[in-house]
Structure formats: structure tokens, C-alpha cells
Amino acid sequence: MSGQPVRPRMYVRVPPERLGVVIGEGGRNKLEIMRRTGTVITVDSENSIVIVEPESPQTPPYNVMKAAEVVKAIALGFPLEKALRLLDEDQVLVVIDLKQRVGDSPNHLRRVKARIIGEGGRARRTIEQMTGVDMVVGDYHVAIIGEYERAMAAKEAVEMLIEGRMHSTVYRHLDRLMREVKRRERLRLWGLGEGEL
């Protein structure tokens, strides 16, 4: 064996209908992710898999992970601009598996998704506005991109809706959660610990 360091390589399964979004018009999206992360992205359309590798030995493994996360976000239904938020250090991708939560009865899944989306998309929009996250409701999942605490607050709100809580109850709970999150953010901004106010 040669003394070459092992180059990290990540594989992301992408639904065939989302491969075009990963690639983008004339390869634009793929090139943008590669440029911003110092990675090489190969699309295996036959097996519907995207392979992410470092462009050079200088590319940190962290960048390979971040590029793979951006591809995963696109696979889950986010447009490129929103998926690119994940390149910011404080942004995370949270995925709730609806089948795991509610089983795979199509009727039950449809009902739960309708609750999460709300009439005319109102519930989803309200959660996004209250928390500052981006959210996608797919066939069998809900995906959230945002700063960690905010993404967790949005996840909690979605889980409450899945459990059948009333929208008004969920919003009140989310309002309390977000007041606490914003208070902690202000403390961090001022460089204070919890007990220093």
C-alpha cells in the first residue's frame, strides 16, 4: 500500500427527480457547490447517487461533509440557495421521518402533512417566520435548515403538530421557546454567560 492519505469520499442518495436540481442548468448548481467547498462532485445518474470528494489534499474533510449535506438538502426538496445556508458554520439540517412517527398508512401521512403545512401553507410559513428556519415538507419527511437552537424549536413545533396538538397551542409554545432562544442569543452576543446578567 502506498503512503497516500485516504481521501474522504461521501455518497448521497438522491431521488431521480431531484438529480436535475443538484446539477442545475448547464451544471451551474453542481459547480457552485464545488467552488464554495473545494470539492469534486460526480453524479451517477444510473444509480441515482452523488459522490463528493475533496478537490485536493488541502480540502478539509469538513468541507466534504458540508458539500454532501448541501446535496442531501437538495435531495430532500430545498432549492440550491436555501441548501447553501448549510455552508455557514452555525446552520444544521434536521430531518423528521414521518413514516417512523406515524406509520405508512397513506391516509394518516396525508392528514399529518396537511396539519404541518396548514391551510394555504400557513402553518409551515408561521413556523418558518417564528424561528427563522427554512422548511420543506416532502412525501415522507419534514426537513429543516437553520441555526441549531432555532431548528430544534421548529422540530419541536412540528412534532407537536404530528401528535395532534392544536395549532394555537403549538404557536404559543413556540413563542415561549423563541423568547428563550433570543435571550440566549443576546447573551452570546454580549459575551455573557447564563448567570452574568
Q: What is the pLDDT of residue 22?
A: 97
Q: What is the pLDDT of residue 132?
A: 97
Q: Are 60 and 40 in contact (CB under 8 A)?
A: no
Domain count, the chain: 2
Three-state SS letters, 155-195: HHHHHHHHCCCCHHHHHHHHHHHHHHHHHHHHHHHCCCCHH
Please tell me whether residues 23 and 37 are part of one structural domain: yes
The per-residue pLDDT for range 29-86, each reduced to its tens digit, is 999 999 999 999 999 999 999 999 999 999 999 999 999 999 999 999 999 999 999 9
Please tell me whether residues 101 and 133 are part of one structural domain: yes
Please give the residue range of the domain that contains residue 95.
Answer: 91-189
Please tell me whether residues 102 and 183 are part of one structural domain: yes
The mean pLDDT value for 162-176 works out to 96
What CATH number should be reported for the domain holding residue 42? 3.30.1370.10
Q: Average pLDDT of the chain?
A: 93
Residue 197 domain-assigned (yes or no): no
Please tell me whether residues 185 and 95 are part of one structural domain: yes
Give the Cα separation of 86 and 67 in Å (integer).
9
* Final residue before a domain boundary, out of 59, 87, 115: 87
Give the Cα separation of 149 and 168 in Å (integer).
21
Place of cell 442518495: 13
